[in-house]
Amino acid sequence: MAERTFFLHQHINDFDEFCSNARHWDMEYRQLEAGQFFSELLMFGDPTILFARAQLHRSMIQQGSSPQGLITFALLVNPEIKMRWRNIDISGDMLMIFPPGGELHCINQSDFDVFTLSLSEKKLNQWCSALELPEFNALRKENEVFRCHSAKLTALRKRLLSIEQALLTGTGAIRSLHYLEQIGQEIAASVVGLISESYQPINRKPLRKRDNALKLAESYILESGGAVVTIPELCTAAHASQRTLEYAFRESYGCTPKAYTLIYRLNNAHKQLRHAEPSATHISDIAQQHGFWHMGQFCADYKKLFAMLPSETLKRKI
């Protein structure tokens, strides 16, 4: 295999480990759903082409950015899945597009399963030229989601599944630079064709009062660090009533504002425990940094969300 290509296929039971193994992606996750996290990640690529499939089996908030210098496409492996991506409701016949290094903000359910395909703008422009189309950025006109012909998107999905199968079952020889360049050209041609023939771009919906309130509340929680945030504080920061905030958080995250603030602080404590040195760390110190003063309650809440005790997380230091 050429040195500049890489291939990985892993089953991962910690989202910090998942983030660190997702090459060229700058990712951070917060777990929303109670239970042990587990995932499957396949990646094959080099600095100019990246083919990946990511499966997450817990409801999560995903934040970060796509590979720098590449334009990334994403499509759902299962067309029945739904998710919210950059304030757009995504369904099975949609193709998502990240600009190079584009910000990712997604709320997924426990059935999350997507293919991502990252390609250089040069390669995409070559296919645009071959098909006598405008250059890629002119073709997509800054739109980020396109509703595509269902049959053609299904054909691309089946082809990506066959590529994945070949990578998993073939010998190491198939994971070559030649094969990577071959599938890169094929995928570039497919996505350029899909966008040029798409039914319509999908635009973000105008922000409603509850959307603006949610953004302000999230910013306030972020700026609070480890402090406990009360609902009256959130209402004041968001310039919204408690009822509006309840609707906003339940609609986006499936939980109340109070539950969200607890989950936020638990995720922060989890991340700190994962990176702490066990021999030099007191769990009670980390708990208190994130507003947990009753250790028994902290341990109970922590275990309910992550299906392990804080001490178990500390021992599994990455």
303 in a domain, yes or no? yes
Residue 226 and residue 184 share a domain: no
pLDDT band at 173 (very low <50, low <70, confident <90, very high): confident
Separation in Å, CA 154 to CA 95, 149, 159, 186, 241: 11, 9, 9, 15, 44
Residue 166 and residue 216 share a domain: no
Residue 177 and residue 230 share a domain: no
Which CATH number fits the domain that encloses residue 167? 2.60.120.10
pTM for this entry: 0.88
* Domain's final residue, options 175, 201, 227: 201
- Structure-token pair, residue 58: 């817990």
Percent with pLDDT over 90 in the chain? 65
- What is the distance between the alpha carbons of residues 255 and 260, in angstroms, rounded to a whole number? 6
* Sheet hosting strand 26-31, strand order edge to edge: 26-31, 60-65, 103-108, 83-85, 88-90
Q: What contacts 230, CB < 8 A, 6 or more positions away?
A: none
What is the b/e burial string over 75-112, where b = at least 16 CB atoms within 10 angstroms of the residue's CB? bbbeeebebbbeebebebbbbbbbbeebebebbbbebb
Mean pLDDT, residues 136-165 taken together: 92
Given a cut of 80, is residue 318 above it in pLDDT? no
The rounded mean pLDDT for the chain is 90
Residue 133 and residue 88 share a domain: yes
Given a cut of 80, is residue 206 above it in pLDDT? no
79 three-state secondary structure: coil
- Say which amino acid occupies 158: K
In the prediction, which pLDDT does 87 show?
81
Given a cut of 50, is residue 1 above it in pLDDT? no
Residue 81 and residue 27 share a domain: yes
Least reliable range by pLDDT among 78-82, 156-160, 162-166, 235-239: 78-82
Please tell me the total count of domains within the chain. Answer: 2
In the prediction, which pLDDT does 199 show?
65
Domain coverage including residue 250:
209-315
Residue 197 and residue 231 share a domain: no
Residue 246 and residue 228 share a domain: yes
1 in a domain, yes or no? no
Residue 191 and residue 57 share a domain: yes
Which CATH number fits the domain that encloses residue 241? 1.10.10.60
For 248-287, the pLDDT digits (tens) are: 999 999 999 999 999 999 999 999 998 899 888 999 999 9
Residue 214 and residue 194 share a domain: no
